[in-house]
Amino acid sequence: MKPKRIILIRHGQSLGNINKSIYAKLPDYQLPLTEEGKTQAENCGKTLKNVTKNEECIFYVSPLWRTRETYQGIIKSFDKSLIDTREEPRIREQEWGHLKSIEECEIIDKARDDFGPFYYRIPNGESAADVYDRVSDFCGTLHRDFEKPDFPENCIVVTHGMTIRLFLMKWLHWIVEEFDNLENPDNCAIIILEKRGNEKYKLISKLKKRKLNGNSYK
C-alpha cells in the first residue's frame, strides 16, 4: 500500500555543523547533536506529530549518531505502538574521507563548488553521484515495501542534507542542474512528498535555491 506521505527529515544541528575542526578529532559517523540539535529534534517531533496525527509511521534512519539521536528526539512525541523503525546504511551522509583539519574541509568545499557538486569526488570519499547510486538502490527497496498491504500511511526518512537532495532528484526525475541549484535543507527541516489522486507524489515543501556565480553555485 503506497503511503499517504513520504517525509524527509535532516538531522538536528550536530557538532560538525558548528565546529568543522572536530572532523580532525572524531570520525564523521560519531558526531553527536549539540544541545540545540536535541531541542530541534524534539520540536521536529511535535510538528511531525501534527502532520501524521494518529496514523501509523515507519522510520528509515541513517546509522550515523546524529541521525539516530534526531530520531530518538522525534519519537518522544509519538505513541510507540504506531511506529516501526529500520536502520538504513544506504541513506548515510556522503563519505568525506579522513579529514585532518578545518583547512582541508574548506579546500574540499571550494573544489567541489568549482568542479560541480554532483560530480566532484572527495579524496578517499564519495561524489554526490556515488551517493545517488546507493540512494537509487534504497528507492528500489521502498517501491517493494510499498507493495506490502500493511505498509503504514507515512514513510519517514531521517537522513542528511545532501542525501535528501539526491533522494528528491531520483524520486522526482530531476536533472543534475536541478540538484546542483539547491541548498541543503536546514537542520530538522521537514520535506513532504504527498500522494495525489493519480498515485503520484507531489513535493509540497519549499526548498532553498543556491545562487549561480559563473560555473559555480555559491
Residues annotated as catalytic are 11, 93
d(CA 7, CA 59): 9
Q: Nearest to residue 167, comparing CAs of 65, 86, 60, 67? A: 60
Cβ density class 77-102: b for 16+ within 10 Å, e for less:
bbeeebbebeebebbbbbbbeebeee
d(CA 65, CA 212): 33
How many angstroms separate the CA atoms of 142 and 158, rounded?
14
Name residue 139's amino acid: C
* The three three-digit cell numbers of residue 96, written as one number: 568525506
Q: Which residues have CB under 8 Å from 208's CB, separation 6+?
A: 182, 183, 184, 185, 186
Residue 101 is placed in which grid cell?
Answer: 583539519
Partners of 57 in the β-ladder: 83, 154
E strands, 44-138, are 57-61, 83-87
